[in-house]
Chain A
Amino acid sequence: MLSDILQNRYAVTAVILFGVGFTNLMLQQNLLRKVIGFNIMDSAIFLLLASLGYIDGGVAPIVGDRGFDPLYINPIPSGLVLTGIVVSVSITAFSLALIQRIYRRYGTIEMRELLERAKKEDD
């Protein structure tokens, strides 16, 4: 059991991070903390993907004139994560902009007050 965990340490860390982020996303009342939880989930997924491509004793995939001799790590997950990181920034920026608008409209970013105020305005 313990040796399994130590063997798959990156994947286990990624799952724990994902759980922490998801719990925050669901349970926090503050919208800004929800966004932070979302970002932690992002990091977890990137960590899992990048650790899948790693090979023990491998070097970074810059071929140069070294040929195919040394062992290279898998370049595909790195490329995917590279695009993912930049997209996650734009997602964060968009949600923060939405939060600013919500604050300007309702004057709060606490979930509970927000729902009550929105309901009051509906009536």
Chain B
Amino acid sequence: MIVLEYILLIGVIVCAVAAPLCKRLLASVIVYMALSLLMAVLWSLLQSPDLAITEAAVGAGVTSILFFLTLKKIRELKGTDDE
């Protein structure tokens, strides 16, 4: 169990470092989504299932959808090289 904990913690840090370094904004948002999912597993390891349910629905679902819609509105979704 403790090995899983370490893996998850390191994964969270890696995602957090990688998310803003991605070249395309779409990739950044997807990596942030992965961070949210890892956090949801961490909550259930910390014995707070309420948090796990909410984080899985909110962090990986609603927040990412809002980010995607914003990307669509600011016309960054088509893979452009200039940004």
Contacts and interface: CB of A to CB of B under 8 A. Distances in A.
Direct contact of A and B (CB under 8 A): yes
Interface of A: 9-10, 13, 16-17, 20-21, 24, 28, 30, 32-33, 36-37, 39-40, 43, 46-47, 50-51, 53-54, 58-60, 73, 78, 81-82, 85-86, 89, 92-93, 96, 99-100, 103, 109
Nearest to B9: A13
Chain A contact surface mostly: helix
Interface residues of B, number: 37
A47 B5 CA distance: 13
A33 B50 CA distance: 29
B16 A78 contact: no
B20 A86 contact: no
Contacts of B20: 24, 28, 33, 36-37
Interface of B: 5-6, 9, 12-13, 16-17, 19-20, 25, 28-29, 32, 35-36, 39, 42-43, 46-51, 54-55, 58-59, 62-63, 66-67, 70-71, 73-74, 83
Identify which of B25, B42, B47, B50 gathers the most chain A CB atoms within 10 Å of its CB. B47
B82 to A, nearest CB: 11
Contact of A9 (B6, B29, B35, B74): B6
